[in-house]
Structure 1
């Protein structure tokens, strides 16, 4: 039988696609309506893996997605290889409609926390084929109210249990790249890619003037207030030495640099090098920058895996992690590569000093990659 489905392309046209069932290809739809942070990075890895195995691939995006710098960085080059379906939001009904338009065998939502809650209230998944939701926040953010946090996490466990039992639905829990343990649900380890070469690392050091005689601390990625740049700068000011540098590389959100500037200026007056590259970085730039510094600093309370940690330890860059319990757990698994401390200036000063002492003795952590992540999410069930 010939299956015919219609859907809207980016151009706004409605085209009819005829899928010959004699050609046995999976039809994979990936829906991502936010695209912020590393979400489009996840989508790109899934697109690459799905195309490589011969799938017909569609992306479910909002009309605003194309204006985002992350779209240009990760997905624009695949426009001629995938279909585009517009979705209004992450609302589960929109996802179901998109899956039926594409006649999908598999629909993947890389940020599946909200749809999982919506699915709890529905009798079943009414879309085409099967649905895979990646749970990016297995645990709630910590609050001062212990009972409240305990109650939210208890609800999440119940939610995951019931939703994962629905027909044609898989819940996959996002774990850190270095996680090694047992889980009642399928897990996907945070993918670690490496586009850095010895030449690109050297070019970053020369172009951004990262003097090899200094011990460099680095803050990377989408730098918002939750990354506590001001606290990091205050802590560095308490270290009684000047042979230091701090590299701030990535898109800084509004107000972040303004809050940190008084402390960054204090560092400059003490002779400490401050380098700021405030823009979206290419994959090669990001990886080369993480590899070029001595210590990567992760200071946040966001309870989800850190992609920067995976990159850093794979390059042999020491990690100072602070704040989130998820960071504490991960650092505890690799004490030779990372150290955790509470999000407190005095504690961070002490931990920074330990990291300086470890300089040159940290060895890269092997065995990290993307295959386990993409294989788990692209698993088609019938």
Structure 2
């Protein structure tokens, strides 16, 4: 398996694939970059996977070079969890190894804008996946949310949902949130970049009485700068703001999702959200905004989700809608779906 990038869910996917293959009795090796190997994300997701050998190579190898590497080490199947950049080379026939390669396109939809151009781009990307999948010894699939159906005739694999926490983990996480008094806790989770619009969410929270905002996962400097003013206003108004951005074990991260009263995902980019899947599995209300993929998720989830445009007033209205209702009971019902089978 080749995964050189530690950002987002990539190493989480690598962990699921490696663990599943080991359970099947397969021999597994992870090929990565030195940067990923030294990352916090590696320790979180793969640090205790002792039975899997690891090799570090260049982070920007071509598909041809991956094929040469495959033959050199007598690999029968090479898995590439983040394979969008290899689709064109696959169509051009650059995979010439004796073994096969399985490529996952994590971003089958256009990531920016609306109108005709993004739609044409999205169709072109899917045709590219279809063409790559038709090449000899190449399997190409696209990632989708488990909450929506897709009709385009390519291989779709469902974004895996796992909850590593126990009921006691969730109770402990909630007790920590309530340590300074009972509030209505709203959570923003994952790799929080400007595309997740923390500034808009913080502005929306100004209109929610006796609330708290939890940001858990990671946050970059650009996002902190964009949200600084709104976060300051939130604290000045007497609302609680907490950051859990140090390294979190999977069980800790999942328990935080299950412990809040409401999860907000306001994305400028399209694509399936692992956090939305986890929140839905934990039976948490979801306030979604922006991306059309999140709108589709809201329609699929039903009354426990509400979608709006990227507007702080609309986001606040939907948070208030759930805050005014009795909190639903928490549950832990993970589902891996067809993620592993779809790539194998």
**Structure 1 length normalisation: TM-score?**
0.84
Q: Deviations over 1:114-164 (max 9, x none)?
A: 1012222x23521231111111111111325x3321331232133122211
Distance 1:81 1:164 in 2: 28
**Residue 119 and residue 216 in structure 1: after superposition, are their counterparts in 2 closer, same or farther (change >3 A)?**
same
Deviation at 1:97, TM superposition (A): 2.0
CA-based RMSD of the aligned residues comes to 2.0
Residue 98 of structure 2 corresponds to residue 132 of structure 1: no
Q: Deviations over 1:337-369 (max 9, x none)?
A: 211110012211221221213341477595x51
Distance 2:331 2:267 in 1: 24
**Residue 189 and residue 358 in structure 1: after superposition, are their counterparts in 2 closer, same or farther (change >3 A)?**
farther
Distance 1:46 1:307 in 2: 16
Residue equivalent to 1:199 = 168
| 2:213 counterpart SS class | strand
Residue equivalent to 1:73 = 44
Structure 1 gaps of 5+ residues are: 1-29
Residue 6 of structure 2 corresponds to residue 35 of structure 1: yes
Distance 2:25 2:275 in 1: 30
Q: Deviations over 1:82-108 (max 9, x none)?
A: 242524425212321221122111111
Residue equivalent to 1:12 = none
Residue equivalent to 1:123 = 93
Residue 291 of structure 2 corresponds to residue 324 of structure 1: yes
Residue equivalent to 2:259 = 292
Residue equivalent to 2:25 = 54
Max Rg structure:
1
Residue equivalent to 2:325 = 358
2:111 to 132, 138, 141: 141
Residue 339 of structure 2 corresponds to residue 369 of structure 1: no
Residue 53 of structure 2 corresponds to residue 94 of structure 1: no
2:306 to 331, 339, 342: 339
**Residue 229 and residue 83 in structure 1: after superposition, are their counterparts in 2 closer, same or farther (change >3 A)?**
closer
Q: Is the 8 A contact 2:158 2:337 kept in 1?
A: no
Residue 194 of structure 2 corresponds to residue 225 of structure 1: yes
Q: Is the 8 A contact 1:105 1:128 kept in 2?
A: yes
Q: Deviations over 1:54-110 (max 9, x none)?
A: 111111211222111111111222254324252442521232122112211111110
Residue equivalent to 2:214 = 247
**Residue 371 and residue 53 in structure 1: after superposition, are their counterparts in 2 closer, same or farther (change >3 A)?**
farther
Residue equivalent to 2:157 = 188
Distance 1:117 1:211 in 2: 54
Bigger Cα displacement from structure 2, 196-205 vs 320-329:
196-205
1:172 to 125, 141, 151: 141
Name the count of aligned residue pairs.
344
Q: Is the 8 A contact 1:294 1:359 kept in 2?
A: no
Q: Is the 8 A contact 2:173 2:259 kept in 1?
A: yes
Q: Deviations over 1:12-44 (max 9, x none)?
A: xxxxxxxxxxxxxxxxxx111212111000000
Residue 122 of structure 2 corresponds to residue 153 of structure 1: yes
| 2:338 counterpart SS class | helix
**Residue 157 and residue 177 in structure 1: after superposition, are their counterparts in 2 closer, same or farther (change >3 A)?**
closer
Distance 1:140 1:301 in 2: 11
Deviation at 1:211, TM superposition (A): 5.8
Residue 249 of structure 2 corresponds to residue 282 of structure 1: yes
Distance 1:242 1:174 in 2: 38
**Structure 2 length normalisation: TM-score?**
0.93
Q: Is the 8 A contact 1:214 1:243 kept in 2?
A: yes
Q: Deviations over 1:284-322 (max 9, x none)?
A: 111110001011010112211000011101111111111
Distance 2:23 2:231 in 1: 46
